[in-house]
Amino acid sequence: MKLTFMGAGSTVFARNVIGDCMCVDSLRDSVFALYDIDGERLEQSRIILEAMRAAKGGYGKIECYLGVENRKAALKDADFVVNAIQVGLYDPCTIIDFEVPKKYGLRQTIGDTLGIGGIMRALRTIPVMKDFADDMEEVCPNAFFLNYTNPMAMLTGYMTRYTGIKTVGLCHSVQCCSETLLNEVGMEDKLEGRKELIAGINHMAWLLEIKDKNGVDLYPEIKNRVDAKIADPEFKDKVRFDYIRNFGYYCTESSEHNSEYNMFYIKSKYPELIEKFNIPLDEYPRRCVNQIEGWKKEYEELLQTGVKEHTRSNEYASRIMESIVTGNPIQIGGNVLNTDHLITNLPAEACVEVPCLVNGYGIHPCHVGALPVQCAAMNMTNINVQLLTIEAAATLRKEHIYQAAMLDPHTGSELDIDTIKKMVDDLIEAHGDYLPKYH
């Protein structure tokens, strides 16, 4: 088996996914092809992964491919392709995504999934992923493309609609959703044997059902504890708990993410909401700086002390590969096209996050039916932006970028149309060659 890792310079994530594969008998003897356009980061990943491979018994083989000219060779005959690229990196592109909107009074927390930051990230990433797909259709047309890069719904939506590559989008927010909630409300005793149903869109999929091992609905007791948690000044997950209070359901991704996916919480006219809901403005740039510095320190320590023992993570990638290779079925939460209306009250062209069966025949999304109408409505405010951004990438028409930004719930609630267009123009100019030319 061959696994190609696109963006292997993301050393921490490559270490998790490939390390997970090294823990599995059916996967450990694979060829692990590392691809990146940054030679220094690629070499760091090679050193770490070679040390891990030796510690795990020396199974398999690691190959490195540097630069676009070696991309096809990296992909050739791959069975699985994991995508973890970040086009434009923190510097300059994430900085641009935050600093240009800030000049117009538009503040963000994460900016990688929705909002103007998510739109721009998608527009610079989709052309690169289209190149990946073109190469894959030539040298590994039957490979499974496992996408971890954000904005998940926009990128996976593009791949599933405009390429012939078998694509699923993967995020770790589904795995930890109900556990996080039960821990937060002090119901840890209900974790074992719990049953759940999660569906919606990436980063805003809804915990539609949560029952204990005996089938007892846990939502009534959870809702009894919501107000006390929101009133706690130290509690950080207030936006999601406010979702429970106002929309009836908890969602998969964190409050710092969800604070910018709507028009409710980050409002220049209501600055007191930032403190009330513990919203960390400019959170993603802070994380980037800390992660860059943290990795430098960790890498030096690893060179001195050696790699630590890797235990298998809860990431889906290795489990999908193992299931397809062995035929042993599993269930995951996957991001897929809403074909045949898996969620009946969301559009067929939307990218939805639903339970999926995985077995030796591949990945099979499960029919969910209709979401509660208020949950579907919340999802649609995000899907509108996602579909228009994909349309902009597919047609190269600037008007669709304007429309995506105008219909973004946070952007549209803060800025008027003329200002939004000026901001978009400034962002396009600032990104320069990281974006294609729009007309």
Token representation of residue 267 = 């409002």
28 vs 57: CA distance, rounded Å? 9
Report d(CA 121, CA 90) in Å as an integer: 11
**pLDDT category of residue 308 using cuts at 50, 70 and 90:** confident
In contact, 180 and 162? CB cutoff 8 Å: no
pLDDT greater than 90 at residue 204: yes
Measured CA to CA, the distance from residue 243 to residue 226 in angstroms comes to 10
Contact between 161 and 155 under an 8 Å Cβ cutoff? The reply is no
Is the distance from CB of 101 to CB of 117 less than 8 angstroms?
Answer: yes
Tens of pLDDT, residue by residue over 185-199, are: 999 999 999 999 999
Residue burial 144-167, b: 16+ Cβ < 10 Å; e: rest: bbbbbbbbbbbbbbbbbeebebbb
The closest alpha carbon to 33, from 21, 23, 309, belongs to: 21
If DSSP codes are grouped into helix, strand and coil, which group holds residue 33? Answer: strand
Task: Give CA–CA dist 79/328, Å, rounded.
Answer: 17
Task: Give the pLDDT score at 88.
Answer: 96
**pLDDT at residue 427 greater than cutoff 90:** yes
Gap between the Cα atoms of 87 and 96, Å rounded: 13
Provide the pairing of β-strand 80-83 with 144-147: parallel
311 φ/ψ angles, rounded to the nearest 5 degrees: -110, 145
**Where in the sequence numbering do the catalytic residues fall?**
172
Render pLDDT for 75-94 as a digit per residue (tens, 0 to 9). Answer: 999 999 999 999 999 999 99
**Mean pLDDT of the chain, nearest integer:** 96
Q: How confident is the model at residue 306 (pLDDT cuts 50, 70, 90)?
A: confident
Q: Which of 9-18, 103-112, 292-301 has the highest mean pLDDT?
A: 103-112
Longest Cα–Cα distance of the chain, Å, equals 61
Q: Is 216 exposed, middle or buried (0-12, 13-18, 19+ CB in 10 A)?
A: exposed
Q: What is the pTM of this model?
A: 0.97
* Distance, CA of 26 to CA of 220 (rounded, Å): 43
pLDDT of 305 > 90? The answer is: no
Task: Judge contact between 174 and 205, C-beta under 8 A.
Answer: yes
Q: What percentage of the chain has pLDDT greater than the value 70? A: 100
Is pLDDT of 295 > 90?
no
The model's pLDDT over 126-165, given as tens digits with 9 standing for 90+, comes to 999 999 999 999 999 999 999 999 999 999 999 999 999 9
d(CA 26, CA 23): 9
CB environment 267-292: b (16+ within 10 A), e (fewer): eeeeeeebeebbbebebbbebbeeee
pLDDT in tens, 210-263: 999 999 999 999 999 999 999 999 999 999 999 999 999 999 999 999 999 999
